[in-house]
Amino acid sequence: MADTTTRFTEWLKNAYGMEKAFIEMLERQSSRLENYPFFAEKVTDHLEASKKSADRIGQLLQDMGEKPDSAFSGVSSLAAKFSSLFNTTSDHEAVQYALSNFGYVNFAIASYVSLLASADQLNHEKAKPVIEQNLSDKREFADFLADNIPAVTLRFLERESVAAKAKR
């Protein structure tokens, strides 16, 4: 059975892999939303925030004498590729991106809430601000998505009704 510090480190490595997977997903999306500029801009903004999140976690792990877990990152990367493939073959790609991002970012929020509780338990003062910043970034994107999924959906339906290239 793992001790609390070992489990916390494992979860940090998982969060690193989660961020790397989200980066891959957002990179694919950012160039495919030309008819949804308000959404494309926020995807690009969150892509940059996710890169910073991964860097912060990577640095924290290094400071702890650890390396990010490439095995989990690989699994996350595969999941990101599958998600992108599913969404790009959809005839309603932009809507699918909004929905999948909302699910993914809420999973990330839950992960960071759990990590923050673990950091509090361990009194890990160096980890708390990293986790809090990453959590704040994810909540901001989740709020945007919650507020704008209807707009993405309606934009798609509007474009589809006039036989425009609605997919993306």
What share of the chain in percent tops pLDDT 90? 73
* Residue 104 pLDDT class (50, 70, 90 cuts): very high
In this predicted structure, what is the pLDDT of residue 106?
96
Rounded to an integer, the average pLDDT of 28-39 is 91
* Residue 68 pLDDT class (50, 70, 90 cuts): confident
Q: What is the C-alpha to C-alpha distance for residues 168 and 91, in angstroms, rounded to an integer?
A: 9
Q: What is the H or E stretch that residue 69 is in?
A: none
Contact 80, 22 (CB under 8 A): yes
> What count of other Cβ atoms lies within 10 Å of the Cβ of residue 24?
20
Q: What is the C-alpha R_g of the chain?
A: 17
Q: What is the C-alpha to C-alpha distance for residues 84 and 96, in angstroms, rounded to an integer?
A: 10
Mean pLDDT in the chain? Answer: 87
Structure tokens at 161: 């009704």
End-to-end, the C-alpha distance of the chain in Å comes to 48
Q: What is the pTM of this model?
A: 0.86
- Could you tell me the domains of the chain? 4-161 (1.20.1260.10)
* Residue 70 pLDDT class (50, 70, 90 cuts): low
Contact 43, 102 (CB under 8 A): no
In this predicted structure, what is the pLDDT of residue 127?
98
**For 64, phi and psi rounded to 5 degrees?**
-90, 0
In order of 79, 119, 168, the CA distances from 15 in angstroms are 14, 13, 29
Rounded to an integer, the average pLDDT of 1-25 is 91
Only one residue has tokens 């992108």, namely 84
Contact 50, 60 (CB under 8 A): no
Rounded to an integer, the average pLDDT of 129-150 is 98
* Residue 86 pLDDT class (50, 70, 90 cuts): very low
* Residue 166 pLDDT class (50, 70, 90 cuts): low
DSSP 8-state symbol, 166:
-
